[in-house]
Amino acid sequence: GSKWYYLASSGEMKTGWVQVGQKWYYLYNDGSMAANTTINGYKVNKNGEWIK
């Protein structure tokens, strides 16, 4: 499986919950995006988007 990462415009690798547009994503401490899992009770889908 491939891993996805999110970098800020400054080039800084982000971790934790990050909002991109209207969607929220969770990034692990190594910067990789969570997908198809539950983080602290919040479900994220296969695209890594928080399912409200």
pLDDT tens digits, one per residue of 1-50? 689 998 888 999 999 999 999 999 999 999 999 999 999 999 999 999 99
Residue 52 banded pLDDT, cuts 50, 70, 90: confident
- Please tell me the pTM assigned to this model: 0.86
The count of domains in the chain is 1
Give the model's pLDDT for residue 22. 96
* Residue 13 lies in domain: 1-52
Calculate ∠ Cα 11-12-15, nearest 5°: 140
Give the model's pLDDT for residue 28. 96
Confirm if 42 and 25 have CB atoms less than 8 A apart.
no
Query: Which CATH number does the domain housing residue 30 bear?
Result: 2.10.270.10
